[in-house]
Every structure is written in structure tokens, then in C-alpha cells.
A and B are shown apart, each in its own frame.
Chain A
Amino acid sequence: MERDADLLAALRAGDRRTVLEGLMDRYRQKVLHLAVSIVRNPALAEDMSQTVFVKVWQALPKFDGRAALSTWLYTIARNTCLSAIERERRLVPLEDFQEAADDDGDPMLFGREAAGVETSGQAAAEYDVSRLLEQLPEPYRRVVVLFYLEDRSCEEVGELLSMPTGTVKALLHRGRKKLAALAGESEAES
């Protein structure tokens, strides 16, 4: 199964299993990227990605083919992750949630340690991305993270977030400027 057209043909033939296998084969990594950019926690993002494919399995009989399979899948992924965040926020104030996550030693995804970068030599010449991203407002952070995960492709980021490429470029530009300003501030402090 290489193309979405093949998957659609399998779906029309009622072969739901083959369709899900094909979708996971093609899109599992992209769904993980999208989940990571929204929930910002690797374990939770993988769990969310699994939930997304379970939901896809349940919704496949109702797929009407009006949108592309990838667009439909990304919409389910975005809604699943955003709902999970919203649910957490409703049950526990966000600040408490962050503290709880830190207390559990839940590893944040990005940063020198996560990347296996040592804090000497070349690594010392790098910023702690995790700390900088924490201070970046939401629309920028999501775009910046996805841009680097998607091999610097604004088109891919736009498809994942259902945004025009121009909007992605504008958010990316402003996000990087803000990050540079934050990095400059930390530079001045140290």
C-alpha cells in the first residue's frame, strides 16, 4: 500500500484492517510529530498517537472521502490532542499540572539532555531549547517544533496544522525572532 488511492480502494472493498495498517505505515511518525508539538511530552504524545489510530479504526466506516485521508487523519489527531490538553486543564489548573509533571520526573522532550548532548565543548555552545520553548507563546511554539521535526518543510507543517503555508512562514519567522530575543536575554544574564 503506497498511495492514499490504494487505501481508499481497500476501504471501498471493506478491508478496514489493510487501510489502518497502510495509514499507520505512512503516517505514524507524522501523527507523533503533531502530538509532540501539541502535548510536549514524549510518553503522552506516543499514547495520544495510539489513541488517534484507535479512533481512526472506529471512524473508518464513516469516512466519506470528501477530504484527503491524510487531512482527515490529521484533524482527528489535532482534536484528540487538544481535547486531552483541555481535559487536563479543566481538571487541574495548568500550573499545577506542569508542576506535577516536573515532580514525576517526566522527561521533557527537548533539551541538551534529551538530545544526548553533553554540556561541554560543542554542546556548551548551544542553548537549552527546552527552556527557551517553555517561554514561547503557543501558536509559535507549535510551528517552530514541527518545522524542525518535519525537516524544515513549511508545506508539511501547514498540512499537519491545516494552515496556509504563508501563515506558517509568518509564525515561524516571528517565533524565531522571539526565541532569539529570549536567547539574547539569557545571554545577557549569564
Chain B
Amino acid sequence: MSRKDIEARLDRSLANQIDVPRLDRRFDAAVWARIEAAEQKSKATNPVTADVADLAPSRAERASRWLAISNYVGIAVTLAVVLLFVLRTYGGYEPSLNLDMNVSMPVVSEDMVTRITAVLGQLLGVVALAFGLSFTSVGRRLRASFS
């Protein structure tokens, strides 16, 4: 059988066999019944908050509010830094920051720094590996068994 014959036969088979039943008003009735049941259940489990549930901000709304706040803070800090830079460059303004602090810093040897860096690096590597593995099929199954 030639390639063209196979493709024609395949097209005919797909057209004839891929089909679904037509949904009608019974489907709508089933949806309304489920909505009714969900609302009854919601009122039964939480009669006080059920009516005000729509008034409480959703998780997405709360998240977007926090995002907006952090954006405003970021913009304000950036503007302040830019203003300071412009004043220093063109106005000769030099802010005098004299905190008058007397803090003794711990003395850390170079060898100690190297060792701490090595340990932290290994720790970070292990955490990154575990994080990556948690998104594999095995990791997902493992997470599901704990949740």
C-alpha cells in the first residue's frame, strides 16, 4: 500500500471514528444541580462567612496588592538614590553620615573564610539538587505522599 493510500485511509478513519456525543439541556441541569449542591454545602459548613465570602479579598487580590506595595517602595528608593546622585554630581551636596558607632568586628582568618565558603557551597549544592529532584516524577510522588 502506498503512502498516499495509507494517508487517505487514515484520514477517513480519523474522520469516522473521532466523535463525541452532543450535549443538551440535561448537561445544563446537571451543572445547575452541582452549583446548588456546592452552595448548600458552603452555607452548611460556614454559615457566617458564606455570605461575606465574596466580599473578602481573594488570594490573588492580596498578592497583587503586596506586589503593588513592594513596587512603590522600590520606585521610591530608586528615586531617592537617583536624586542623591544628581545632587552630589551637580550640586556638590555631600550628605554627612556620622553614626558615631564603635563596633568591634570579629577577626576571621582567611583559612576560616575558605572553609566556611566550601561548606556553604556544598550545602547550597545539596539544597539545589534536592529542589530540582522534587520536580521529577519521583519527587512529585514523594511530595504527594506527604501532603
Q: Which residues of A contact B (CB under 8 A)?
A: 20-21, 24-25, 28-29, 32-33, 36, 42, 45-46, 49-51, 53-54, 57-58, 61-62, 89-91, 93, 109-112, 114-115, 117, 125-130, 132, 144-145, 148-149, 176, 179-180, 183-184, 187
User: Is B107 at the interface (CB under 8 A from chain A)?
Assistant: no
**With contact pairs A183-B9, A183-B10 given, residues A54 and B17 touching in the complex (Cβ less than 8 Å):** no
User: Is B35 at the interface (CB under 8 A from chain A)?
Assistant: yes
Contact A110 B38 (CB under 8 A): no
* Other contacts beyond A29-B23, A46-B27, A61-B54: 19, CB < 8 A: A24-B27, A28-B23, A28-B27, A32-B20, A50-B34, A54-B38, A57-B31, A90-B140, A90-B144, A110-B19, A111-B17, A117-B16, A126-B9, A126-B13, A145-B18, A148-B18, A179-B10, A179-B14, A184-B3
**With contact pairs A62-B58, A90-B140, A184-B3 given, residues A50 and B16 touching in the complex (Cβ less than 8 Å):** no
Distance from B36 Cβ to chain A, minimum over Cβ atoms (Å): 10
Residues of A within 8 A of B31 (CB): 20, 24, 50, 53-54, 57
Distance from B146 Cβ to chain A, minimum over Cβ atoms (Å): 11
The residue on A at minimum CB distance from B147 is A90
Per-residue contact bits, chain B 127-138, to A (CB 8 Å; 1 contact, 0 not): 000000000010
* Interface set, chain B 1-47, CB cutoff 8 A to A: 1, 3, 6-7, 9-23, 27-28, 30-31, 34-35, 38
Contact B141 A90 (CB under 8 A): yes
The residue on A at minimum CB distance from B140 is A90
Chain B's interface size range is 20 to 34
Contact of A180 among B6, B17, B144 (CB under 8 A): B6
Chain B contact residues, majority secondary structure:
helix
Q: Which residues of B contact A (CB under 8 A)?
A: 1, 3, 6-7, 9-23, 27-28, 30-31, 34-35, 38, 54, 58, 137, 140-141, 143-144
Residues of B within 8 A of A33 (CB): 20
Interchain residue pairs with CB less than 8 A apart (23): A24-B27, A29-B22, A29-B23, A32-B20, A36-B20, A42-B21, A49-B23, A90-B143, A91-B144, A109-B18, A110-B19, A115-B17, A115-B19, A117-B16, A129-B14, A132-B10, A145-B18, A176-B10, A179-B14, A180-B3, A180-B6, A184-B6, A187-B6
Distance from B31 Cβ to chain A, minimum over Cβ atoms (Å): 4
Cα A42 to Cα B1 with chains together (Å): 33
Distance from B25 Cβ to chain A, minimum over Cβ atoms (Å): 9
Cα A114 to Cα B11 with chains together (Å): 17
Distance from B86 Cβ to chain A, minimum over Cβ atoms (Å): 38
Distance from B6 Cβ to chain A, minimum over Cβ atoms (Å): 5
Distance from A184 Cβ to chain B, minimum over Cβ atoms (Å): 5
Chain A CB count within 10 A is highest, among B7, B14, B58, for B14
